[in-house]
A and B are shown apart, each in its own frame.
Chain A
Amino acid sequence: MTTAVVVALLVATGTWLVLRRGLLRVVVGFVLLGHGVNLLVLTAGGTDRRGFALPGQQGQGPVADPLPQAFVLTAVVIAFAVTVHLLGLLRQGQALDEDDDAEGPA
């Protein structure tokens, strides 16, 4: 239940920021959307199995599904790459309209 609320909050805030003025907000909004979707995929593995898929696991309950974890792991790194790329574009925009005080497109 809490996971659902967390995902809802992340997606809602992410959507809000993406639609606001200011490119930095858009970038942060994408980061939050990424968090939300990553949590959703992880949760798809089931939240009643929370053990680490490792030798001598110390987690709680039975071992968690490793497949969504692998998906999300690469997704996290790719989300980082996307964020960095967006920031590169943002900085390029700063360089282009420094006089506009980085207003960004409305």
Chain B
Amino acid sequence: MVAALVLLAALAAGAPLLARRLGRATGYVLSAGFLAAAGLLVALAPRVLGGGAVEASTPWLPSLGVEAALRLDGLSLVFALVALVVGALVMAYCARYLSDASARGPVLPLLTVFAAAMVGLVLADDLVLLYLFWELTTLCSFALLSSAGAKAVAPARRALVITIAGGLALLVAVVLLALAGGTTRISVLLAEPEVVLGSPLAWPVAACVLLAAMSKSAQLPLQFWLPGAMVAMTPVSAYLHAATMVKAGIYLLVRASTLFAEQTPWQVALVAVGMATALVGAVMALREHDLKGILAHSTVSQLGLLVAAIGVGTPTALGAALLHTMAHALFKATLFMLVGIIDKETGSRDIRDLSGLRRAMPWTAAATALAALSMAGVPPALGFVSKEYLYQGFVSAPGPAWVAPAAAACAVTASALTFAYSMRIVWGAFGGPDHPELYEPARSFLAPAAVAAVAGLLLGPAVFLFDPLVDAATSAALPGSVPPRIYFWHGLSTEVVLSGVTVALGSALFWQRDRVDAVLVRLRLPDAGGVFDAGHSGLLALGGRIGAGTRARPLGAHLARPLAVVAVLGVVGAVALGGALPERTATAVPGEPVLLVVLAVALACAAVTSSAVVLVALVGLVGLVVAVRMVLVGAADVALTLLLVEVLTAVVLVLVLRGGGLHLPPVVRPAGRGALPAVLPAALLAVGAGTAAGLGTWSLTGRRELSPTGAYLLDNAEELTGGTNVVNTVLVDFRGLDTLLESVLVGVVALGLGVLTRGPGREVRERPDVVLRVASRVLAPLAVLASVVLLWRGHDQPGGGFIGALVAGAGVVLVHLAGTGGGEGAGGTGRAVRLERLTDPVLLAGAGALVAVGTGLVPLVWGGALMEPFSVPGLYALGISSALLFDLGVYALVVSLVAACVRGFGRVPSAVPAAAPAAAPGAEHAEVVR
């Protein structure tokens, strides 16, 4: 069983390779592979047919109790064999249908993946696994549909949306079943139906299962995707949309019958939906003239009959449904293959054009007629026997006395319509005038369809061969029941009479086909597909309207929304809090009011200035004040970091401003009239957001003791990490993963900046100032030295990777501003080139990320935890620990950002790319000395 699945997966993986070598002949290899997989399953049949089951499982998601469990019982065997045998026929057909070029495309691998998914679906003994395979078949169907090109876009989307919606319903059912039954193991759930049925979730589960099956098996009102799916190439239609995928819903319903078969609401829903689908599908089929369209609507109709039979729920009806599933797969796949042949040979699929095939293509015509007779339910074909049993199931339906006759009447009507459109196909093949220019297809092309057509004929009288299989499958679905015995002929019973009525009615419908057509043309059925499309585009339009606000052009409109939300949240929070706050414990420190005044003045000036230089100066001042405040609340490391960041920000701002834009647009438009209303919303929003933030700060901080986490860190940091700078130990030890990701982010920004500022541009250097140059020669090495000291002692004293890197960055900036780094005039010195290389942002970011991640991964070597601290032998004496190594990585990443700033903003972009002499990245080092 596992071997069969593995074989199919291997075939799927190998199909593209085979196709490259063998071309379309790959179809034969895959066909043989499918038969081999079927053989592997048949080898297990003796155990399964005795009523047993073959199981295999391996733990998958142990925390959820989910196992990758497979189970082969009679029911699984029926559906798996249908998928594999029909698959083998279709693959052999593909070997002649496809061209060598299209065989190398995605169709063959996708069909094989689909076969594997289908077999997996029916073998799965775990709900999660079942769901997974279910969705895989949906996706395969979508991919195969989409491969048909532009005309398939809309139908493929319809099919996908409908079947995915059904898949979601199945997912809900899976979750609810797991909740109700306490396990996801299907065999366990089904072994004790009363557990699920006794739960209040039983009916939601049934509804979701039904919905999933209705979408997959194209039941009213979701049936419209299936006829649309006929744009796919014929082998795909034959395999997925006639024989197998649409049977997945049937499989699900038969499985669920173990739980729900005797529940009246389930029976009513299934019979009603199924019968309605059967009738509507058959009428639609009779209306069609396109051969594929007829077959598609016919599939809908036949699936409806199957659903109705499953709804009846007696062993007889269920057994009949299983037998008809096999019969239908056989004759419908055959018909599709033949339609594909006819289409290719004649260039037409219109049934009115096909008259006289019997003389030009006798064998094709004969095979078509055989398959169509099987579909019509004419003896002795297999379709006749399975239809007899369906009738038997409906006639013996349980419930009030009127149910059985009504069900039988519906089934007879649907079958009579089926007979009528089947006859049209036969007539198309045999009747009418000649088409002498046509000729018979190659034997190898016809062979798969012909074999299937003959099998459909011979298996009718030999139907007893199916008896053990149907017996085992029915017992698997309805444990303890007595399945029907399957014979070809069982006397002159009600069913035979009904068959006679069917044939009589059908013949009459066929005979009067012109009048029937006239009635049908006038018949207007509700267009579910149109409703779906309208709903779909309505939904998209709604999304567009909701998103319209975010497409506003002004920047302010985007930014105002989140800020407005902040203000509103503040008000709502203040109201909700209602003044019930603990006592404030905050203390004040002398000097704070002075800082406050400085800050207020600086901010007020910043708010109204139109000079970029003033703004930059003021923002530096504000940063300074904030840093002092941070010192006052005991955050030494943070204040140090902020100070350095402020210095670097100022440098970068100045570098950017060299590119122009020293004059900002006025804060308030000069035009006096209407100026105030224009700024009013922004002013209100600013005051609102500020008030909300201030109130939040006042009411939510400074009202509690030291947090438990903080107390724990203060008490244990030194013991656990060996570091005495608690903030730094939090960064590199306790929250190391956080810091790692944050510093990698910094590195990413450095790389992004490199890309942003690449473009054409020219290097601008100020005239080297002698004092600055001399100072930089001394100070830059000192800065680097200081940064190393800060890095080294960071674990114990203020410092660390971030701070050290910013100090080193200051050195890099100094060298750049002094113009001593990139060389002067021609070429530059070797030292300068070395420096240039050393501060390459890409190199620094890469090395930093490697060191930081590497240090985090090392403990895994001896089975430790990710980022666990360790001591480095030999280096420990120097005070070098794993924390320091990690910090070194952070250091390099942050330096890379500063270096990227200097490189990127040191150049002024030119507006016209063509004007730049060399736009290549290598031109970055070229400089223009002013």
Interface residues of A (CB under 8 A from B): 1-13, 15-26, 28, 31-32, 35-36, 38-40, 42-55, 59-67, 69-70, 72-74, 76-85, 87-92, 94-96, 98-99, 101-106
B689 to A12, Cβ gap below 8 A? yes
- B928 interface residue (CB < 8 Å to A): no
- Determine whether the beta carbon of B555 is less than 8 Å from that of A15: no
Chain B residues at the A interface, C-beta cutoff of 8 Å: 553-556, 559-560, 563, 585-589, 592-593, 595-596, 599-600, 603-604, 606-607, 612, 615-616, 619, 622-623, 626, 629-630, 632-638, 641-642, 645, 648-649, 652-653, 656-657, 659-661, 663-665, 667, 682-683, 685-687, 689-698, 700-702, 704-707, 709-710, 713-714, 717, 724-727, 730-731, 735, 738-739, 742-743, 745-746, 749-750, 752-753, 756-757, 759, 761, 796-798, 802, 806, 894, 897, 900-901, 904-905, 909-911
In the assembled complex, the Cα of A36 lies from the Cα of B13 at a distance in Å of: 57
Q: Identify the interface centre among A2, A44, A76, A98: most chain B CB within 10 Å of its CB.
A: A76
How many angstroms between the C-alpha atoms of A105 and B641 in the bound complex?
33
> Is chain A's interface secondary structure helix, strand, loop, or mixed overall?
helix
6 A–B pairs (Cβ distance < 8 Å), ordered by A: A7-B693, A15-B685, A25-B664, A70-B730, A79-B645, A81-B750
Q: Report whether A40 and B693 are in contact in the complex, using a CB–CB cutoff of 8 Å.
A: yes
Partner of A83, one of B603, B649, B739: B649
Q: Which residue of A lies closest to B757 (CB)?
A: A88
Q: Known A22-B665, A25-B615, A66-B714; judge A6-B634 contact (CB<8 A).
A: no
**B629 — which chain A residues lie within 8 A by C-beta?**
3, 6, 39
Q: Are A60 and B701 in contact (CB under 8 A)?
A: no
Knowing A15-B690, A20-B667, A22-B665 touch, does A72 contact B753 (C-beta < 8 A)?
A: no
Chain B neighbourhood of A89, CB < 8 A: 756
For the A-B complex with A28-B616, A85-B756, A95-B759 known, give 6 more contacts whose Cβ atoms are closer than 8 Å: A18-B556, A32-B606, A43-B701, A55-B796, A67-B713, A74-B731
A77, B759: Cβ atoms closer than 8 Å: no
User: Cα distance A82–B742 when bound, in Å?
Assistant: 12
Minimum C-beta distance from A1 to chain B (A): 7
Specify which chain B residues have a CB less than 8 angstroms from the CB of A55 in the assembled complex: 724, 796-797
Across-interface contacts of A62 in B (CB, < 8 A) = 706
Bound Cα distance from A54 to B634, whole angstroms? 10
Instruction: Return chain A residues, CB-CB under 8 Å to B696.
Output: 40
A45–B630 CA distance with the chains assembled, in angstroms? 12
Q: A25 to B609, alpha carbons, bound, how many Å? A: 10
Enumerate chain A residues within 8 angstroms of B694, measured Cβ to Cβ. Answer: 4-5, 7-9, 11
Q: What are the 10 A-B residue pairs with the smallest beta carbon separation, nearest first?
A: A12-B690, A8-B694, A64-B634, A102-B661, A95-B909, A65-B710, A4-B698, A70-B730, A16-B686, A19-B682
CA–CA, A62 and B634, complex, Å: 9
CA distance A7 to B692 in the complex (A): 10
CB closest residue in chain B, given A83: B649
Interface hub of B585, B629, B635, B731 (most chain A Cβ within 10 A): B635
Q: A64-B635, A72-B638 are in contact. Are A16 and B656 (CB under 8 A)?
A: no
Q: How far is the CB of A104 from chain B (nearest CB, A)?
A: 7
Q: A20-B667, A53-B726 are in contact. Are A72 and B635 (CB under 8 A)?
A: yes
Which residues on the B side are within 8 Å of A17 (C-beta)?
606-607
How far in angstroms is the closest Cβ of chain A from B461?
Answer: 79
- Using Cβ atoms and an 8 Å threshold, which residues of chain B touch A28? 606, 615-616, 619
* Interface contact B731-A1, CB-CB below 8 Å: no
Measured in the bound complex, the distance between the Cα atoms of B7 and A37 in whole Å is 59
Q: Which residues of B contact A31 (CB under 8 A)?
A: 619, 623, 649
Q: A residues within 8 A CB of B797?
A: 54-55
A61 to B661, CA, bound (A): 47
With A2-B596, A16-B683, A67-B707 already in contact, the answer to whether A9 and B690 are too (CB < 8 A) is yes
User: How far is B759's CA from A52's CA once the two chains are assembled, in angstroms?
Assistant: 46
Taking the nearest CB of chain A, how far is it from the CB of B803, in angstroms? 9
CA distance A28 to B560 in the complex (A): 16
**CB atoms of B796 and A11 under 8 A apart:** no
> In the complex, are the beta carbons of B596 and A6 less than 8 A apart?
yes
Q: How far is the CA of A64 from the CA of B614 in the complex (A)?
A: 35
Q: In the bound complex, how far is the Cα of B636 from the Cα of A84, in angstroms?
A: 24
A7, B702: Cα distance in complex, Å: 14
Q: Is B911 a contact of A44 with CB atoms below 8 Å?
A: no
A41 to chain B, nearest CB (A): 9
**CA–CA, A32 to B475, complex, Å?**
74
A43 CB, min distance to chain B CBs, angstroms = 4
Which residue in A18, A32, A54, A103 is a CB contact (below 8 Å) of B798?
A54
Known: A48-B585, A53-B726, A85-B752. A32 touches B603 (CB 8 A): yes
The answer to whether A6 and B910 touch across the interface, beta carbons within 8 angstroms, is no
Q: Which of B724, B731, B756 lies in contact with A92, CB distance below 8 A?
A: B756
Q: Specify which of B685, B706, B752 is in contact with A46 (CB 8 Å cutoff).
A: B706
User: Which residue of the partner chain, among A16, A24, A74, A91, contacts B905 with CB atoms under 8 Å?
Assistant: A91
Task: Determine how close the nearest CB of chain B comes to the CB of A9; give it in whole angstroms.
Answer: 5
How far, in angstroms, from A70 to B652 measured CA to CA in the complex? Answer: 25
With A and B bound together, what is the CA distance between A76 and B626 in angstroms?
12
Residues of A within 8 A of B900 (CB): 84
CB-CB under 8 A from A18, the residues of chain B are 556, 559, 563
In the complex, how many angstroms separate the beta carbon of A38 from the nearest chain B beta carbon? 8
Residue in chain A with minimal CB distance to B700: A44
> In the assembly, what is the distance between CA of A95 and CA of B912, in Å?
8
Contact of B556 with A19 in the complex, beta carbons under 8 Å: yes
**Min CB gap A71→B, angstroms:** 8
Residues of A near B897 (CB, < 8 A) are 80-81, 84
Question: Which of A2, A25, A60 meets B593, CB within 8 Å?
Answer: A2
Which residues of chain B come closer than 8 Å to A50, judged between CB atoms? 587, 589, 632-634
Which residues from chain B contact A84 at a C-beta distance below 8 Å? 649, 652, 749, 753, 897, 900-901
Tell me if B702 and A47 are in contact (CB < 8 A): yes
With both beta carbons as reference points, the residue of chain B lying nearest to A25 in the complex is identified as B664
With the chains together, A25 CA to B607 CA distance in Å?
9
Residues of B within 8 A of A64 (CB): 633-635
Residues of the A chain whose Cβ atoms lie less than 8 Å from the Cβ of B692:
11
In the assembled complex, the Cα of A72 lies from the Cα of B599 at a distance in Å of 20
A12 touches B687 (CB 8 A): yes
Residues of chain A contacted by B641 (CB below 8 angstroms): 73, 76-77
Decide yes or no: A81 and B749 within 8 Å by CB, A28-B606, A47-B587, A72-B638 being known contacts: yes
Kindly list chain B residues whose C-beta atoms are within 8 Å of the C-beta of A92.
Answer: 756-757, 759, 909
Question: A69 contacts B635, CB within 8 Å?
Answer: yes
Most B-side CB within 10 Å, residue of A73, A89, A103:
A73
Between A53, A91, A99, A103, the greatest number of chain B beta carbons within 10 A of the residue's beta carbon is seen for: A91
Does the CB pair B701–A40 fall under 8 Å?
yes
**Known interface pairs A8-B697, A9-B599; A87-B560 also in contact (CB < 8 Å):** no
- Bound CA span A87–B911, Å: 17
Q: Is the CB of B697 within 8 A of A10?
A: no
Separation of A62 and B905 alpha carbons in the complex (Å): 44
A53 touches B725 (CB 8 A): yes
> Contacts A42-B635, A84-B749 hold; do A15 and B689 have CB atoms under 8 A apart?
yes
- For A106, what are the chain B residues with a Cβ–Cβ distance below 8 Å? 554-556
Residues of A contacting B759 in the complex (Cβ-Cβ under 8 angstroms): 92, 95
**CB of A58 to closest CB in B, whole Å:** 9
Interchain CB contact under 8 A, B603 and A9:
yes
Contact across chains for B738 and A74 when beta carbons are under 8 A apart: yes
Contact of B630 among A42, A44, A70 (CB under 8 A): A42
Q: Are B698 and A1 in contact (CB under 8 A)?
A: yes
Selected from B592, B686, B905, the residue in CB contact (under 8 A) with A19 is B686
Give complex CA distance A18, B894 in Å.
27
Can you name the residue of chain B whose Cβ is closest to the Cβ of A53? B726
Distance, CA A63 to CA B717, complexed state (A): 14
Closest residue of chain A to B734 (Cβ to Cβ) is A70
Select from chain B the residue with minimum beta-carbon distance to A46.
B702
Q: List the A side residues contacting B713 at CB < 8 Å.
A: 66-67
Q: Which residue of B lies closest to A97 (CB)?
A: B911
Q: Is the CB of A95 within 8 A of B697?
A: no
Query: Which residue of B is nearest A26, CB measured?
Result: B555
Q: B residues within 8 A CB of A44?
A: 700-701
Q: How far, in angstroms, from A82 to B750 measured CA to CA in the complex?
A: 10
